[in-house]
Amino acid sequence: MPLPHHGVDHYENFPVASVLCPPRLRPAVRALYRFARTADDLADEGEAAPDERLRALAQFADDLRACAEGRKDSGAWPEVFGPLAPVLHQFGLPLPLLHDLLSAFRQDVLQHHYESQEQLLDYCARSAQPVGRLLLHLYGLHEAQALNRSDALCTALQLINFWQDLSVDLARGRCYLPADLMARHGLTPADLKSSAPAAGATDLLQAAIGWARSLMHEGAPLVKQVPGRAGWELRLVVQGALRVADHTEALGLQVLRRRPQLRLIDAGPIVWRSWRM
């Protein structure tokens, strides 16, 4: 479950069949990744108008239903639904989770601001949490405790991505910092775009990062429930995301102007902290 990223090049909620992924699961992970990335691109990339994006996502959802039912689809995305069809049936993947992802992508087309933390968490429950639950399903983990921890981890990953991407999203007219959280610090989205952000912006960013960290620590024990090499990959994901949070916090208000990045020098601390988990 690598760090979610609403960027130009990748939808990175899925491990793209890394060397730590068991070989028998790699085709399934690749198929799910291609499904999510393609839908994300339909919602967020290119020059299409919102109504065109929504029509494309509606057709994509229809093709998913056809794929699941063994019917002929539109043929618009053979690279997605060709590999996905056998995976759906082999693993009995829960179809509602895939439709939840599509619901979040449709929301991306229409909604660029969030009024409350609860509203943002509802979005994360459809944009991020299904990813973790799909992967746990592949690993045969269905216990309520594991699912809840996965939800916390995936939400934390999504939030950390939002906070590291503030400069990118604000420039595109998006703001994932909830209005109620900003209001508690006397701020509005317009304040964040100004050349000299208002007093309280630093505290706001620290509160947002602290929120994500607390969810990450809540879900972190999942690394001991996920079996084998996948558990080690999850450790690296958790520590990598926490390292991104550290860099985001260290940038302070500069994060409103530029995106923090992990560098080679970060690999040592990430691996060490993963091993200590």
Please give the Cα distance from 169 to 174 (Å, whole number).
5
In a domain, 37, yes or no: yes
H-assigned helices in 139-222: 144-164, 166-171, 179-184, 189-193, 201-219
Q: Per-residue pLDDT for 6 more than 50?
A: no
Across 128-146, average pLDDT: 95
pLDDT value of residue 13: 38
Across 45-57, average pLDDT: 94
pLDDT value of residue 215: 98
Spatial neighbors of 67 by CB under 8 A, at least 6 apart, are 73, 81, 84, 85, 88
In a domain, 16, yes or no: no
Into how many domains does the chain fold?
1
Question: What is the extent of the structural domain holding 33?
Answer: 23-276
Distances (CA, A) of 201 to 184, 243, 253: 11, 21, 7
Please give the Cα distance from 152 to 162 (Å, whole number).
15
Beta-strand ranges (E) seen in 3-52 are none
In a domain, 12, yes or no: no
Please give the Cα distance from 271 to 258 (Å, whole number).
26
- Residues 198-218 have pLDDT tens digits of 779 999 999 999 999 999 999
Mean of all residue pLDDT scores within the chain: 90
Do 56 and 262 form a contact (C-beta atoms < 8 A)? no
Eight-class DSSP state of 259:
-
Composition of the chain by helix, strand, coil, percent to 5: 70, 0, 30
pLDDT value of residue 246: 96
Please give the Cα distance from 211 to 126 (Å, whole number).
19
* 3-class secondary-structure state, position 175: strand
- List the single range of 19-33, 50-64, 98-112, 198-212 with lowest mean pLDDT: 19-33
In a domain, 4, yes or no: no
Please give the Cα distance from 44 to 116 (Å, whole number).
23
Q: Per-residue pLDDT for 31 more than 80?
A: yes
For the question of whether the overall pTM of this predicted structure is more than 0.95, the answer is no
Q: Higher confidence at residue 11 or residue 230?
A: 230
Please give the Cα distance from 147 to 125 (Å, whole number).
12
Task: Read off the amino acid at residue 48.
Answer: A
Residue 113: strand pairing partners: 175
The dihedral region occupied by 186, where left means phi > 0, alpha psi between -120 and 50, and beta the remainder, is left
Do 235 and 144 form a contact (C-beta atoms < 8 A)? no
Residue with tokens 């070989």, as numbered in its chain = 23
Q: Per-residue pLDDT for 5 more than 90?
A: no
In a domain, 220, yes or no: yes
In a domain, 14, yes or no: no
Please give the Cα distance from 192 to 182 (Å, whole number).
10
Q: Per-residue pLDDT for 4 more than 60?
A: no
- Residues 143-201 have pLDDT tens digits of 999 999 999 999 999 999 999 999 999 999 999 999 999 999 999 888 888 777 677 99
User: The domain spanning residue 111 has which CATH number?
Assistant: 1.10.600.10
Please give the Cα distance from 68 to 199 (Å, whole number).
52
In a domain, 7, yes or no: no
